[in-house]
Structure 1
Amino acid sequence: MKTIDLHVHSYYSDGEESPRSLLASAIGKGFRAFSITDHNYISPEQNLVQKIAEEQGVLYIHGIEVSCIDRETKKSLHILGYSDSFNFEKVNKKIMPIVAGYNERAKKIIEKLNRKYSAGFDFEEMINEVPSVYVSRNQLAQKLSVFLGGKFTPRELLSEVFVEEDDSWMPNAQEAIEIIKESNGVAILAHPGNLVDNIQFDDLIKRLVGFGLKGIEAYTPKHTPGIIDILKKTAEKYNLILTAGSDWHGRHLSKEEEGMEVPDRI
């Protein structure tokens, strides 16, 4: 068995910590492999993190998590992308429409919070408070938690930082996978356990494989042993690789700790 984590988020998207802080934690906990997979952005720090990781004997893989919609099932999906040769600038340029969509959503949520709580939140101030290129729901939840005097945790307030919206700006699953493929990356379906019982899962996987999907994130704290077994069988059927990740966002936002213990063959 070994401990790895190929799915964590830094403050360049909707996480709480810096990339170097995340790496220090991974090294301290003895991870064998590690990847920072920020939502819709690859930070310029990933090369430095890789260099430090390799000096410490940790395999580091450049990563990203691309948000998208499966138009057929109308389900929101997250596609992880991994590569040792991402062109960061090229990938980030292709994903800019998603970033713009997130920022427009954030402005609507801020308007909602200001109406409901008289919070006086300002988008321009918030976008300048963090290194991220967009204002995330997690950032808004943290801001609201502080405004309310800490009576509720950011995780408890996530339902408050939500608005119904037109998601036409979101890429479809095929487009998300192609962004990763065209950038020398491998596309992996993130934490699909919630999809297993809700839709025709096998049909979805077959369709995504046709688009170029190469793997499934099977090992994650969100998945029960039964779900993992289903995902392992699905991966075997479609010749997909299995990956593992905690989807860590930070101690105020995540229930579980970083790191997944998995068989050596993973």
Structure 2
Amino acid sequence: MWSRVVFWLRFSAAVFAGLAAILAVYNYYAQDKLPDAFEPVTWGIALGIVMFDNVGTLISRKYHEVKGTRRKRIEKALMSMVINLSKTHGIPFDEIGASVYVPRKTWSWWVKKHKTQRLKRLVRFRPAGYPQQSGVNWGAGKGMVGDCWDTRTSRYLNSHKIAETYNGAPLSEAQFHKLAKATRRGFTVQEFNAIAGKYSEVRAEPLWHERKERELIGVLSIDRAFVAEDDRFSPRLDKKQTREVAAAAAYTVSDILKPATESA
């Protein structure tokens, strides 16, 4: 957002500086001269915009510095959780991934009240870099992430059979709408085709504000990549130990996110 503000500030400063130069040339050659105050006022506005731009740039740099530090702390927490799950559950390290989602900022009271608020992925940690991001427009009731946000509870899905069935076999619109609602999980056909064959398991944990009771500030998701050659698949992410590890990670991430939500 600030980058757009900076662009228009600099554009405005250039316009006023150019206008001041034009006025100076006009006054030099014209017989009907403009009032003496015109040129200094124009230069003053241009310089004022430049000063505002410089102050804003310093604030923006500090903001991005704090944001970058927060992101690194969250990545570290996710990495620690993934390592823990890999060691204790016997799952290959490169099969597990984790992400943190937060609500997109909006000024709309209607959006916040009626749960139509969209979520954005803030941080993603995946050792292997695969599967790639699916381009899903996350929101309440969509997938386990959206279901967690909507119900405000922990959610789990064993999606191995879904991935096995629809991996590499995109559905048409008509075929997609014949699927059970529980299988579609709120996705569009394009989103379903992009994500259905990627994951064997997904767990989502709500992120709560530590001080503000029952204030949901985000969602932590843990997923396990689908491996087509794995004919001995055994669910791991719904075990008691997994729930405990996920809850501890969610608490840590919530504590890191808290300053951002308080200043929002």
Looking at CA atoms only, which structure, 1 or 2, has the larger radius of gyration? 2
